[in-house]
Copies of this chain bind each other. A is one copy, B any other.
Amino acid sequence: MPSLDLGVLISGRGSNLQAILDAIAAGRLDARVRLVISNRPGVEGLARAERAGIPTRVLPHQEFTDRDGFDAAAVAALREAGATWVVLAGFMRLLTTTFLDAFPHRVVNIHPSLLPSFPGVDAQQQALDHGVRITGCTVHLVDAGTDTGPILAQAAVPVLEGDDRDALAARILVQEHALLVRALSWLAEGRLQIAPSAAPGGRARATIAGVDTALGFAQGGRAPEPVGEGA
């Protein structure tokens, strides 16, 4: 039996979903995708799921009177499908406690920045506008805030001279695919440890035992630049 029974929520292209499906097919990730839910009909991610023989559900968010209604329907569908972990793979809506309480510490998001920098929409453009030289991506557990939940793993990506939004987004996306698969494989190995917050009202702390969860900088054919006292 696979160690992770995944539900995957998407809103569009689903390239991170494809990375998961490819990793499972290649034996690099001990998991099974039980259901793919999209809040938008007709998106490419649904076609990817169907090609892989994965059940899909479309829950158009505008058909629900409030977020709780959408979230309750999604929870019911995921439970019925046997999903016990949830991955947000380009899912563009906030989740309520109705959803989060149904999968405590088991909802995973991938975000295209080194959080806490650049939460929210279009993190890649935010990074360019700010003029940072290093950005990246973050896999984290989801809480009720916008990209505020406990961090599981991060990968660094350089911003290069002349980058526009699409060039930077493409470079980050390569790392998103790798980081998401890597992080899910650690969860499948049972490495996740949750520690309650040290401070009252603070966030829980998530750690992955026994592995280095900081990745980066070897993508795109660019060798990492040696840095040191003698450089």
Contact (Cβ within 8 A) B133 A154: yes
Q: How many residues of A contact B (CB 8 A)?
A: 50
Docked complex Cα distance between A207 and B134 (Å):
14
Question: Interface digits, A146-186 against B, CB 8 Å rule (1 contact, 0 not)?
Answer: 00001101111011110000000000001101110010000
Q: Let me know if A63 is at the binding interface, CB within 8 A.
A: no
Contact (Cβ within 8 A) A134 B227: no
CB contacts (< 8 Å) of A160 on chain B: these are: 212, 214
Docked complex Cα distance between A177 and B115 (Å):
25
Binding site for B on A (CB under 8 A): 19, 22, 114-117, 130-134, 136, 150-151, 153-156, 158-161, 174-175, 177-179, 182, 203, 205-207, 209-219, 224-229, 231
Chain B nearest CB, measured from A109 CB (Å):
15
Contact (Cβ within 8 A) B114 A217: no
Contact (Cβ within 8 A) A227 B215: yes
Closest to A130 in B: B116
- Taking a contact as CB atoms closer than 8 A, the residue among B217, B228, B231 that contacts A156 in the complex is B217
**Copies of the polypeptide in the assembly:** 2
Question: A178-B229, A227-B179 are known contacts. Are A134 and B218 too (CB-CB below 8 A)?
Answer: no
Query: Told that A175-B227, A218-B227, A224-B224 touch, could you supply 19 new A-B pairs with CB distance under 8 A?
Result: A114-B114, A114-B134, A132-B151, A133-B151, A133-B153, A133-B214, A134-B155, A134-B216, A156-B156, A156-B216, A160-B212, A160-B214, A161-B209, A177-B229, A212-B225, A215-B225, A216-B217, A216-B227, A218-B224
Docked complex Cα distance between A76 and B90 (Å):
55
Contact (Cβ within 8 A) B217 A224: yes
> When A and B form their complex, which 6 residue pairs have the shortest distance between CB atoms, in order from nearest?
A158-B214, A133-B154, A133-B214, A156-B156, A224-B224, A134-B154
CB contacts (< 8 Å) of A158 on chain B: these are: 212, 214
Contact (Cβ within 8 A) B214 A219: no
15 contacts between A and B (CB under 8 A): A117-B117, A134-B154, A136-B156, A158-B214, A160-B212, A161-B207, A174-B227, A178-B228, A178-B229, A182-B227, A215-B227, A216-B225, A216-B227, A217-B224, A218-B225
